[in-house]
A and B are shown apart, each in its own frame.
Chain A
Amino acid sequence: MTRINLTLNGRAQHREVEPRQTLADFLRDGCDLTGTHLGCEHGACGACTVLIDGLPARSCIHLAVRADGCDVRSIEGLRDDPLTVLLRRHFHEAHALQCGYCTPGMLVTARDILRRFPAPDEATIRRELAGQICRCTGYVGIVEAIRRAGAELANQPS
């Protein structure tokens, strides 16, 4: 076992982990944060996307030991994040989810898209979503939700 110290959803954590344990398994099994979902376990579907030091990362192919010293944020840690709150409302209104399994990873990635692209157009959103698989929706609602959220942000007085 290896000791790791990290900030998880804003709180300091000191934990023992197996060197081979993935960050996703650490979050789900070690910390009971089951909002991080596993869809492929080889870094292709994006369901397990979390933020590591503010950047989206595939927690299924990221070893927990590599999170030592990092700031990790999962969907549970974005409950009150203003950007995620905005995205959640638009996901709801644009019917951007069906079974809900890909949704946490989608939201983390969508948030990152809005941080990097102010008021992104459809082509930008689609390109930036290319690493997230949704089997249910055909992406139409997801793309629309992100576009609407971006447009709303752009129209807000700064």
Chain B
Amino acid sequence: MAETKPAPGDWIGASLLRREDARFLIGKGQFVADIRLPGLEDACFVRSPMGHASLRGLRRPAEWAERVYTHDELGPFQALPAGPDIPGYRNVAYPVLATDRVCFAGQPIAAVVAPTRGEAEDIAGLVELDLDALPAVTDAVLAMAPDSPRIHDAWPDNAFITSGARAGDAAAVAATAPVRITRRLRMNRQSIVPLEGRAALAYWDHRLDELVVYLSTQGAHVMRLGIAQALGISEHKVHVIAPDVGGGFGGKNRLTPEEIAVCALALKRGHPVRWIEDRREHLMAAPQAREHVYDLTLYADRDGTMLALEGDVYIDAGAYPLWPTGAFAEASMAVRNLTGPYRIRHIALRNHTVATNKPPMGPYRGVARPGACFAMERLADELARELGLEPIEIRRRNMVTAGEMPYVTAAGMRLDNGDYPASLDEAARSIGLDAIRARQRTGEPDGRRIGVGFAFYTEQSGHGLKEWARRGARVMPSYETCTVRMLPDGSAQVLVGIQNHGQGLETTLSQIAAQELRLDPARIAVRHGDTAVSPFGFGTFASRSTVFAGGAVARSCRILAEKIRRIGGHLIQTDPVETRLEDGHVVGPSGAAVSFAEIGRAAHVRQEMMPPGVDPVLEATATYEPADSSGTFSYSTHAALVAVDPLTGGTELLDYVVAEDCGTMVNPLIVDGQVTGGVIQGIGTALYEEVPYDESGQPLATTFADYHMPCATEMPRVRISHFVTPSAITEYGIKGMGEGGAIAPPAAIANALADAFRDSGAQFNETPCTPRRVVAALEAAEVPT
């Protein structure tokens, strides 16, 4: 772990141990399923057993009929338009419960309520469905064929939207470029799998006259918007509480039908109702992720200079859009990030966001960029191989250098600062590229082949209003809010609209408040996850919370600090401008000091001590949006060393290094934890995790026996090198970094596999690179085993 020694009283850069840990280590975290209320009933759902079918009707067991709710009995629900608000986007409602059609296996059809989950499942098992199977659409590329069955009958084809990105004159370059690399690359569909699944508990609180909803969510305030809208209730009568949230990774940043149904059930039943998603439901019906297909051609000169990129990107978005933003961000982010750090000035890219008979696609750590990075970095390696160059050399020749920054890419991303080639060189040094090349020449005693692979990515964060407007976001998360409150004893509360769910934000935000207030973090509480506690905010996703909420904390604390100094100066009879804050005191030039406790006391309960004209109470609220709306870019090079058994196709990770730059680190310990956690998820994408579907739309991975999670035995010890190029547009120079670790592993590992068999030209263009796919790739390249 990184070691840093900030100056005494400086908390930015301190590897403070996490304050969150204590409750979890004694089993006293409080997740939604841990909440106990009198009269609580459990809900479960009758789900479609078919991938695509007409729903003719439903027969409920007579004895339990009043415990089974269909859409008609639970509704009416108000429209909740989801997806971008842009021309050309075809909207369709994701029904809370299916009415006349089911569009994926697992789609909720009816809700059942009983005193226990077991009894609810018993009743659900007695509900008979009358379904007529329809042809299923399970491949996003085939779905765009003119004769493909339609999922939404009114649409002329199966695309939610077909869009693209163009710059320069790719066609002209294509006509003359001496080198062309054409590949189809596929990143398959996976589940998101926070260890706590989705969960909702709702009841009407008669004292407060409001609907209370405990929700395992990444953003309580935004979910309140959606719940209030769907149910047609005024927002002041909806109170959303996200208690401890057992991981989210993007999947809990959307409002899903089951959650709306639980709220409606609570209103119908008149007592608390909860639904705790089980793992099978999660793997079948929760938001899923990835599933991109890239048909691309990279054009280059003989010296390796990349010239143009053209082709098609297909995003398998599933059957419906999730509120609020649907899956369009996938396609737009994929094409806009596709050229990565490279000086490719000519692009002609089309993207297709396609409906299929699968669960809706949600955001998952990295959003689109794991696919884009996989495609581009695989092409870069194939180009290097074509020209007989080292893969890092092809990158060096095409990467934007520090001197060229800020650099606006062909797709309009403004790469703000950093030293990309230095990160590449550090990764090569750290993994020991020269030694690996020597080792490859000698061969492995066990007959395995080893290979090294590199992948580079940039990660946009802190992007503001213009960027979200450009994406047509219905909810534009372009700022965050903080209220800081000092109590009469001089301790402080920081109230924020983000949602800590593993990121250590209760610790890092207390460090930022401590930095500004010059107060020990132990005297600062951070509160979030409750619409009744914190001011409005958007929640935690898009690697945004430390940049946005950190900025809001800093600003609100500065406003409060001014008032503290004004009162403190009065109490020590010193001009406030000559005072400073130090270790919980206002200190004057003579050394005279007054504690925050005395100032807090004056401001709250002994107003006669206040300076004239200063209002009582110590509280300040501020919002924050970075100075430049186009965001700030973290970046990293990942390098993987693999050993592959050509006979079995089994791949072992021997080493994994990360050379990253996320600007100023508030807490380096937590940064390292986020990097490592992201990397393991990326390794899951690269090697293990997949939800395949058969041609009728049946999911083939619905337990952890079929869906392979990365475990301790498979994971390497990730080694991390840091560069620090502070952002010019954020408070303290922070850049967001929570997602980055997950972006590059599929590319780095597939490149390592290709490197292991570079003499044969075996192709590793589909994730996860399972033993079966590795063996198939070797057979296709006629590699002797």
B24, B26, B672, B676: residue with the most chain A Cβ atoms closer than 10 Å? B24
A127 touches B504 (CB 8 A): no
Whole-angstrom CA separation of A99 from B500 in the bound complex: 9
Whole-angstrom CA separation of A104 from B195 in the bound complex: 13
A28, A95, A122, A130: residue with the most chain B Cβ atoms closer than 10 Å? A95
Cβ of A91: which chain B residues have Cβ within 8 Å of it?
21, 25
**Which of B36, B244, B276 is A100 in contact with, Cβ under 8 Å?**
B244
Query: Which residues of chain B from 533 to 581 have any CB-CB distance to chain A below 8 Å in the complex?
Result: none
Whole-angstrom CA separation of A32 from B33 in the bound complex: 11
**Which of A21, A99, A130 is B194 in contact with, Cβ under 8 Å?**
A99
Type the 1/0 row for A72-105, where 1 means its CB is closer than 8 Å to any CB of B: 0011100100000000100111010111111110
Does B279 belong to the interface (CB within 8 Å)? yes
B711 touches A129 (CB 8 A): yes
B717 touches A127 (CB 8 A): no
Whole-angstrom CA separation of A68 from B623 in the bound complex: 57
Cβ of A127: which chain B residues have Cβ within 8 Å of it?
712-713
**Which of B27, B246, B501, B672 is A35 in contact with, Cβ under 8 Å?**
B27
The verdict on A130 contacting B712 (CB below 8 Å), with A44-B704, A99-B195, A104-B27 known, is yes
B713 touches A92 (CB 8 A): no
Cβ of B715: which chain A residues have Cβ within 8 Å of it?
126, 138-140
The verdict on A138 contacting B718 (CB below 8 Å), with A91-B25, A99-B502 known, is yes
Cβ of B676: which chain A residues have Cβ within 8 Å of it?
137-138, 140-141
The verdict on A74 contacting B712 (CB below 8 Å), with A97-B21, A98-B502, A100-B244 known, is no
Q: Which residue of B lies closest to A94 (CB)?
A: B1
Instruction: Tell me how far the C-beta of A89 lies from the nearest C-beta in chain B, rounded to whole angstroms.
Output: 9
Q: Which residue of B lies closest to A128 (CB)?
A: B712
Instruction: Tell me how far the C-beta of B115 lies from the nearest C-beta in chain A, rounded to whole angstroms.
Output: 11
Whole-angstrom CA separation of A107 from B20 in the bound complex: 16
A92 touches B25 (CB 8 A): yes
Does B311 belong to the interface (CB within 8 Å)? no
Whole-angstrom CA separation of A92 from B31 in the bound complex: 20
The number of residues on chain B lying at the interface, defined by a beta carbon within 8 Å of a beta carbon of chain A, is 55
Whole-angstrom CA separation of A28 from B31 in the bound complex: 12
A88 touches B704 (CB 8 A): no
A95 touches B673 (CB 8 A): yes
A98 touches B712 (CB 8 A): no
A39 touches B703 (CB 8 A): no
Query: Which residues of chain B from 40 to 59 have any CB-CB distance to chain A below 8 Å in the complex?
Result: none
A20 touches B118 (CB 8 A): yes
**Which of B195, B709, B712 is A129 in contact with, Cβ under 8 Å?**
B712
Cβ of A45: which chain B residues have Cβ within 8 Å of it?
195, 279, 704, 709
Cβ of A37: which chain B residues have Cβ within 8 Å of it?
31, 195-196, 246
Q: Which residue of A lies closest to B669 (CB)?
A: A95
Cβ of A38: which chain B residues have Cβ within 8 Å of it?
33, 276
Whole-angstrom CA separation of A65 from B653 in the bound complex: 43
Instruction: Tell me how far the C-beta of B119 lies from the nearest C-beta in chain A, rounded to whole angstroms.
Output: 10
Type the 1/0 row for A13-54, where 1 means its CB is closer than 8 Å to any CB of B: 000001011000000110011111111111011010000000
Instruction: Tell me how far the C-beta of B460 lies from the nearest C-beta in chain A, rounded to whole angstroms.
Output: 23
Whole-angstrom CA separation of A70 from B349 in the bound complex: 65
Q: Which residue of A lies closest to B28 (CB)?
A: A35
A92 touches B18 (CB 8 A): yes
Instruction: Tell me how far the C-beta of B28 lies from the nearest C-beta in chain A, rounded to whole angstroms.
Output: 7
A21, A79, A134: residue with the most chain B Cβ atoms closer than 10 Å? A134
Does B692 belong to the interface (CB within 8 Å)? no
Q: Which residue of B lies closest to A96 (CB)?
A: B21
**Which of A29, A42, A104, A126 is B704 in contact with, Cβ under 8 Å?**
A42
A135 touches B247 (CB 8 A): yes
Does A142 belong to the interface (CB within 8 Å)? yes
The verdict on A101 contacting B31 (CB below 8 Å), with A40-B279, A135-B193, A139-B712 known, is yes
A18, A93, A100, A102: residue with the most chain B Cβ atoms closer than 10 Å? A100
A41 touches B279 (CB 8 A): yes
Cβ of B249: which chain A residues have Cβ within 8 Å of it?
135
B25 touches A97 (CB 8 A): yes
Whole-angstrom CA separation of A13 from B182 in the bound complex: 68
B278 touches A41 (CB 8 A): yes
Cβ of A97: which chain B residues have Cβ within 8 Å of it?
21, 24-25
Does A55 belong to the interface (CB within 8 Å)? no
Instruction: Tell me how far the C-beta of B498 lies from the nearest C-beta in chain A, rounded to whole angstroms.
Output: 15
Cβ of A41: which chain B residues have Cβ within 8 Å of it?
278-279
Whole-angstrom CA separation of A62 from B761 in the bound complex: 50
Cβ of B27: which chain A residues have Cβ within 8 Å of it?
33-36, 74-76, 103-104
Q: Which residue of A lies closest to B118 (CB)?
A: A20
Instruction: Tell me how far the C-beta of B523 lies from the nearest C-beta in chain A, rounded to whole angstroms.
Output: 20
Q: Which residue of A lies closest to B196 (CB)?
A: A101
Does A125 belong to the interface (CB within 8 Å)? yes
Does A136 belong to the interface (CB within 8 Å)? yes
Of the listed stretches B3-11, B677-685, B762-770, name the one at the interface; the rest are far from the partner chain.
B677-685
Does A132 belong to the interface (CB within 8 Å)? yes
Cβ of B66: which chain A residues have Cβ within 8 Å of it?
none
Cβ of B246: which chain A residues have Cβ within 8 Å of it?
37, 99-101
Cβ of A39: which chain B residues have Cβ within 8 Å of it?
195-196, 279
Instruction: Tell me how far the C-beta of A125 lies from the nearest C-beta in chain B, rounded to whole angstroms.
Output: 7
Cβ of A104: which chain B residues have Cβ within 8 Å of it?
24, 27
Cβ of A29: which chain B residues have Cβ within 8 Å of it?
116
Whole-angstrom CA separation of A18 from B669 in the bound complex: 46
Type the 1/0 row for B710-742, where 1 means its CB is closer than 8 Å to any CB of A: 011101011000000000000000000000000
Whole-angstrom CA separation of A125 from B712 in the bound complex: 9
The verdict on A100 contacting B194 (CB below 8 Å), with A129-B711, A139-B680 known, is no
Cβ of B717: which chain A residues have Cβ within 8 Å of it?
122, 140, 143
Whole-angstrom CA separation of A143 from B712 in the bound complex: 8
B29 touches A95 (CB 8 A): no
Instruction: Tell me how far the C-beta of A121 lies from the nearest C-beta in chain B, rounded to whole angstroms.
Output: 13
A88 touches B677 (CB 8 A): no
Does A133 belong to the interface (CB within 8 Å)? yes
B20, B34, B116, B196: residue with the most chain A Cβ atoms closer than 10 Å? B196
B279 touches A98 (CB 8 A): no
Instruction: Tell me how far the C-beta of A51 lies from the nearest C-beta in chain B, rounded to whole angstroms.
Output: 13
Does B23 belong to the interface (CB within 8 Å)? yes
Whole-angstrom CA separation of A29 from B116 in the bound complex: 10
Does B503 belong to the interface (CB within 8 Å)? yes
Instruction: Tell me how far the C-beta of B509 lies from the nearest C-beta in chain A, rounded to whole angstroms.
Output: 16
Cβ of B21: which chain A residues have Cβ within 8 Å of it?
91-92, 97, 100
Whole-angstrom CA separation of A143 from B676 in the bound complex: 13
The verdict on A98 contacting B504 (CB below 8 Å), with A39-B196, A135-B195 known, is yes
**Which of A40, A47, A126, A136 is B502 in contact with, Cβ under 8 Å?**
A136
Cβ of A99: which chain B residues have Cβ within 8 Å of it?
194-196, 244-247, 501-502
Cβ of B22: which chain A residues have Cβ within 8 Å of it?
92
Does B17 belong to the interface (CB within 8 Å)? yes
The verdict on A133 contacting B673 (CB below 8 Å), with A45-B195, A100-B20 known, is no
A44 touches B703 (CB 8 A): yes
Q: Which residue of B lies closest to A107 (CB)?
A: B25
Instruction: Tell me how far the C-beta of B98 lies from the nearest C-beta in chain A, rounded to whole angstroms.
Output: 25
Does B750 belong to the interface (CB within 8 Å)? no
- By Cβ-Cβ distance, the 9 closest A-B pairs, closest first, are A35-B27, A100-B24, A101-B246, A99-B502, A75-B27, A138-B680, A98-B502, A44-B704, A34-B34
Q: What are 6 A-B contacts with C-beta separation under 8 Å?
A: A33-B27, A39-B279, A42-B279, A99-B196, A129-B712, A140-B717
Q: A92-B18, A100-B502, A143-B717 are in contact. List 4 more A-B contacts (CB 8 A).
A: A34-B27, A39-B195, A100-B29, A138-B677
